Copies of this chain bind each other. A is one copy, B any other.
Amino acid sequence: MLTNTRSDRVRSVKALTRRAVRQREGLFLAEGPQAVREAVRFRPDVVRDLYAVPEAAVRHAAILAEAAGQGIHVHEVSPEVLAAMCDTTAPQGLLAVCRPVDAPLADVLGADPRLVVVLTNVRDPGNAGTVIRGADAAGADAVLVSDASVDVYNPKVVRSTVGSLFHLPVVTGVPVPQLLSSLREAGVRLLAADGSGTTVLDDADLSGRHAWVMGNEAWGLEPEVRDACDEVVRVPIHGHAESLNLAMAATICLYASASAHRGTGRNG
């Protein structure tokens, strides 16, 4: 069992909470049983090391057995070592060090996606992670995160995806103009989600292949991005609320698309 909280290993794992280190090392942290379980189950190929405290090794024996079956190295560590490695104060006893999961844009587009979401300039980790979770739940084919957005391997983003980061292809690091033109060339219609939209969500044609293009959580979509889309759609605000948060708006749009694609729309 690893018990030295000042070892080089502990320091190098902890350093992955910093973006520059993640990029240099090509590694990131998945903290807690839910994220670790989904990583082991869906992307064992990217899990490099798994750290477990004794208590968690008992409680989550099924996860560790699955990991061992996949040839993943499981290290037993003291609770103090795990805490020293993590971004959270309460990582619930399990931590995985993973290689990036992102998919090349060409692969995603080559698979003829029917429904994707594009995050442009999203800065808040919680919002970005929750969009990935919502996209997964709505059955979207991919999440495309522009280069100017939050790092999807930020521990806060990883946590808020609750494992969904390992479920569906995520593209990162591509500039917005290139994302939009590539989608267009692939025959994917571009729907900007924006409060200024003239089309209300309920009236939008969501039958074909399309992408929801989302802007920044505070200032929305840049005008040139909005103009580059085929249609600007707004989620109606019926009460006095000023807006919905980004993750909420994206998930409502994605679920409307899922209903339309499945032909299960209300009154349908």
> How many copies of this kind of chain does the complex include?
2
Contacts of A168 in B (CB 8 A): 239-240
Is the pair A130, B264 in contact by a Cβ cutoff of 8 Å? Answer: no
> Would you give the 0/1 interface string for A81-96, flagging 1 where the beta carbon is closer than 8 Å to chain B?
0000000000000000
A259 nearest in chain B by CB position: B202
* Interface pick from A13-21, A137-145, A171-179: A137-145
| A residues 205-245 in Cβ contact with B at 8 Å | 206, 235-245
Interface size on A, residues (CB 8 A): 47
Report how far A237 CA is from B34 CA in the complex, Å. 17
> Provided the pairs A134-B248, A248-B248, A252-B252 are in contact, do residues A239 and B164 lie with their beta carbons within 8 angstroms?
yes
22 A-B residue pairs with Cβ-Cβ distance under 8 Å, sorted by A, are A130-B248, A133-B245, A136-B240, A137-B243, A140-B239, A163-B241, A163-B242, A164-B240, A164-B241, A167-B239, A167-B240, A167-B241, A200-B264, A202-B265, A206-B266, A236-B258, A244-B251, A256-B266, A259-B266, A265-B267, A266-B267, A267-B267
